[in-house]
């Protein structure tokens, strides 16, 4: 394979090409899809599941290797100018008038539908205090923490239902 058709991640991790490709990927990723100061880590260990800052992502890619997403692998490869020109000739023109403006106009004019209203009500209820005077935790935060505890400890639904009944009796 020549360097022009080979992805940078296919080179040895100690090579200059791999390191340069890593740096270019990180720059592009942080410029286009960072949340705060983090992106989902594309290393072989994290597989886009965990979010880290720039330095940690770079260390992960260098140490663990890189896993390109299927939709990214085409754009990340280093192509020759002839190949890029050929690909540009075969590009289809984008449909500028895809109807999104009309869809947004109708949605905003009509307001939220019944399902959206139910969801907004759930959010409002979730932001209420867990009980009168409780400033540490909202109802939603309590529910989420209890669910995480259930999942982490593999508690069955019956156990959680019993706990909720107990909390109902004890808490104001």
Q: What is the pLDDT of residues 66-119, one digit of tens each?
A: 988 765 444 444 444 444 455 445 444 444 556 666 776 676 677 777 888 888
Whole-model pTM? 0.41
Distance CA 54, CA 56 (A): 6
Distance CA 21, CA 27 (A): 10
Phi, psi of 52 (to 5 degrees): -140, 165
Residues in the chain: 172
The pLDDT of residue 35 is: 85
Q: What is the pLDDT of residues 123-155, one digit of tens each?
A: 888 788 887 888 888 888 888 888 888 888 888
Tally of helices (H runs) and strands (E runs) in the chain: 8, 2
Q: Which two tokens stand for residue 67?
A: 């896993």
Q: What is the pLDDT of residues 14-71, one digit of tens each?
A: 889 999 999 999 999 899 888 888 999 999 888 888 899 999 999 999 988 898 876 5
- Encode 25-38: b = buried (16+ Cβ within 10 Å), e = exposed: bbeebeeeebeeee
Q: Give ∠ CA 66-40-28 in degrees, rounded to 5.
A: 70
SS3 state of residue 66: strand
pLDDT higher than 50, residue 5: no
């Amino acid at each position: 394979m020549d360097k022009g058709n080979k992805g940078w991640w296919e080179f040895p991790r100690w090579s200059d090409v791999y390191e340069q490709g890593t740096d270019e990927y990180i720059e592009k990723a942080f410029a286009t899809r960072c949340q705060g100061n983090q992106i989902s880590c594309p290393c072989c260990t994290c597989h886009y599941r965990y979010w880290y800052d720039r330095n940690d992502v770079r260390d992960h890619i260098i140490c663990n290797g890189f896993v390109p997403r299927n939709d990214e692998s085409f754009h990340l490869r280093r192509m020759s100018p002839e190949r890029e020109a050929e690909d540009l000739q075969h590009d289809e023109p984008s449909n500028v008038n895809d109807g999104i403006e009309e869809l947004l106009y109708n949605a905003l004019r009509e307001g939220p539908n019944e399902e959206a209203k139910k969801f907004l009500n759930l959010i409002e209820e979730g932001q209420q205090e867990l009980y009168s005077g409780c400033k540490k935790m909202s109802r939603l935060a309590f529910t989420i923490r209890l669910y995480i505890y259930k999942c982490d400890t593999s508690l069955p639904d019956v156990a959680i239902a019993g706990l909720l009944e107990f909390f109902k009796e004890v808490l104001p």
